């Protein structure tokens, strides 16, 4: 023990204080000096000054649950979701595929094609139609050209039926062999991933297209993952239904390749902003950090009045205190005896290092 601090091999002993352990990890990982680095870089700094049993596991779990890392960093795993081939049909025209070919040069009246292909025999029909077409138009064409010809087999010859059965069996074997080979090759670049109903996941969407989930000031610099959202149901083998916000205008079913598991206690709020937003004031301070500017400035995570903690925002400390000099956040902070002028020792040390480095760069220049 030296100066009231317990040490182990010249390192500070932090065994029975999980809160201080979390504060140290946050300073080494989430601060501007830490830069949200991965486990090896963060853990390399830790044993130089501190010690407690299970430091490696604690560092891994802390970074695994970091909200910024989960939202900003890409998923390095192979594309989730194994290939799910369609079943082998037992008869012709049992399973079909349909598609539209549009933008063709006009030939008389039609300028598009409805393509219907049988999965077993690969027999195809190309039905002309005119744009704009409706569901009723497509259904009428399907009944006239497909169902009328292939709905029921018409034959009374037993020999022909036997030969047809043998041919169907042979085609099924070839399709099964080709389908198995295709799935084997495709799954080499995919990974199997499963979620349970009730799990929380992050959702990856196109930032410039999907804007109804969250309003972001800068799409290009925003996090690529939205959420997290709760899984409500499993659709098939590789699709899930999510509990999106009521204000979202997209379909809530997504492929598993767009989902990533959420670790930690981050929850998306379903509370919408009311009309009293301009009259809100800082209610509580949830966290503190230094900005990445030059020079760095102190920032605080503010919970605003009439808003849940999940909608807290990072604000610059000095302009915020000038704008709200008598806000409840400063009163509550003073009552707790945790004034902003006396941050933790490690936070002061990191701030001091940043100031010294900035002054040294100015001197060299």
User: Is 80 inside a domain boundary?
Assistant: no
Average pLDDT over residues 254-278: 65
Structure confidence by residue, pLDDT tens digits, 282-293: 888 888 887 766
100 lies in the same domain as 178: yes
Is pLDDT larger for residue 310 or for residue 302?
302
Kindly list the distances between the CA atom of residue 292 and the CA atoms of 34, 287, 354, in Å, as whole numbers in the listed order: 11, 16, 10
Average pLDDT over residues 273-286: 66
Alpha helix (H) ranges present in the chain?
18-29, 39-45, 55-64, 67-72, 135-142, 148-150, 158-187, 317-323, 328-335, 345-364
Is pLDDT larger for residue 241 or for residue 337?
241
Is pLDDT larger for residue 349 or for residue 332?
332
Under the banding of pLDDT at 50, 70 and 90, the label for residue 115 is very high
User: Is 76 inside a domain boundary?
Assistant: no
153 lies in the same domain as 218: no
* Number of domains making up the chain: 4
User: Is 73 inside a domain boundary?
Assistant: no
Under the banding of pLDDT at 50, 70 and 90, the label for residue 170 is confident
Structure confidence by residue, pLDDT tens digits, 221-235: 777 788 788 888 888
Least confidently predicted of 20-24, 296-300, 356-360: 356-360
Tokens 């010249």, located at residue: 10
Average pLDDT, the chain: 76
175 lies in the same domain as 248: no
Task: Check residue 4 and give its pLDDT.
Answer: 61
Domain termination residue (choose one: 168, 187, 206) = 187
Domain termination residue (choose one: 164, 187, 210) = 187
Task: Check residue 304 and give its pLDDT.
Answer: 82
Query: Is the pLDDT reported for residue 167 higher than 50?
Result: yes
User: Is 70 inside a domain boundary?
Assistant: no
176 lies in the same domain as 199: no
Domain containing 315 equals 280-364
100 lies in the same domain as 174: yes
**331: DSSP letter:** H
Task: Check residue 345 and give its pLDDT.
Answer: 39
How large a percentage of the chain has pLDDT more than 70?
77
Task: Check residue 315 and give its pLDDT.
Answer: 83
Q: Please, are residues 202 and 215 in contact by the beta-carbon 8 Å criterion?
A: no
Tokens 């709200």, located at residue: 324
User: Is 275 inside a domain boundary?
Assistant: no
Structure confidence by residue, pLDDT tens digits, 41-96: 888 878 777 777 888 888 888 888 888 888 788 777 787 878 888 788 877 888 88
104 lies in the same domain as 144: yes
Under the banding of pLDDT at 50, 70 and 90, the label for residue 126 is very high
Is pLDDT larger for residue 173 or for residue 347?
173
Tokens of 116: 């219907």
Task: Check residue 28 and give its pLDDT.
Answer: 80
Residues linked to residue 202 through DSSP beta bridges, in sequence order: 260
Average pLDDT over residues 272-300: 71
106 lies in the same domain as 181: yes
205 lies in the same domain as 162: no
Q: Please, are residues 79 and 256 in contact by the beta-carbon 8 Å criterion?
A: no
Domain termination residue (choose one: 118, 152, 187) = 187
161 lies in the same domain as 203: no
Question: What is the CATH classification number for the domain harbouring 207?
Answer: 2.30.30
Task: Check residue 2 and give its pLDDT.
Answer: 64
Length of the chain: 365
Query: Is the pLDDT reported for residue 98 higher than 80?
Result: yes
Residue 117, helix vs strand vs coil: strand
183 lies in the same domain as 120: yes
- What is the number of alpha carbons within 13 Å of residue 60 lying toward its C-beta? 4
100 lies in the same domain as 182: yes
User: Is 216 inside a domain boundary?
Assistant: yes
334 lies in the same domain as 294: yes
User: Is 91 inside a domain boundary?
Assistant: no
Task: Check residue 62 and give its pLDDT.
Answer: 84
User: Is 203 inside a domain boundary?
Assistant: yes
């Amino acid at each position: 023990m030296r100066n009231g601090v317990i040490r182990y091999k010249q390192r500070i002993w932090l065994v029975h204080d999980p809160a201080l352990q979390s504060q140290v990890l946050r300073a080494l990982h989430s601060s501007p000096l830490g830069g949200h680095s991965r486990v090896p870089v963060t853990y390399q700094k830790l044993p130089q000054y501190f010690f407690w049993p299970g430091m490696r596991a604690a560092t891994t779990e802390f970074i695994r649950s970091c909200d910024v890392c989960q939202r900003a960093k890409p998923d390095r795993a192979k594309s989730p979701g194994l290939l799910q081939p369609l079943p082998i049909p037992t008869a012709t025209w049992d399973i079909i595929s349909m598609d539209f070919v549009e933008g063709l040069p006009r030939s008389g009246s039609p300028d598009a094609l409805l393509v219907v292909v049988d999965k077993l025999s690969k027999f195809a029909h190309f039905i002309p139609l005119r744009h704009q077409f409706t569901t009723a138009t497509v259904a009428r064409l399907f009944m006239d050209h497909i169902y009328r010809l292939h709905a029921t087999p018409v034959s009374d010859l037993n020999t022909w039926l036997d030969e047809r059965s043998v041919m169907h069996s042979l085609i099924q074997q070839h399709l099964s062999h080709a389908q198995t080979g295709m799935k084997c090759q495709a799954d080499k670049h995919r990974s199997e991933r499963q979620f349970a109903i009730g799990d929380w996941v992050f959702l990856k969407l196109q930032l410039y297209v999907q804007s109804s989930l969250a309003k972001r000031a800068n799409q290009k610099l925003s996090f690529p993952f939205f959420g997290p959202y709760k899984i409500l149901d499993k659709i098939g083998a590789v699709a899930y239904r999510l509990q999106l916000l009521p204000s979202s205008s997209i379909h809530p079913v997504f492929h598993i390749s767009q989902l990533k598991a959420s670790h930690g206690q981050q929850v998306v709020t379903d509370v919408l902003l009311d009309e009293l937003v301009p009259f809100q004031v800082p209610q509580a301070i949830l966290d503190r950090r230094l900005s990445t500017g030059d020079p760095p400035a102190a920032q605080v995570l503010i919970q605003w009045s009439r808003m849940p903690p999940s909608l807290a925002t990072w604000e610059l400390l000095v302009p915020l205190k000038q704008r709200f000099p008598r806000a409840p956040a400063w009163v509550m902070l003073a009552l707790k005896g945790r004034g902003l002028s006396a941050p933790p020792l490690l936070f002061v040390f990191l701030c001091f290092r940043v100031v010294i480095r900035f002054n040294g760069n100015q001197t060299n220049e």
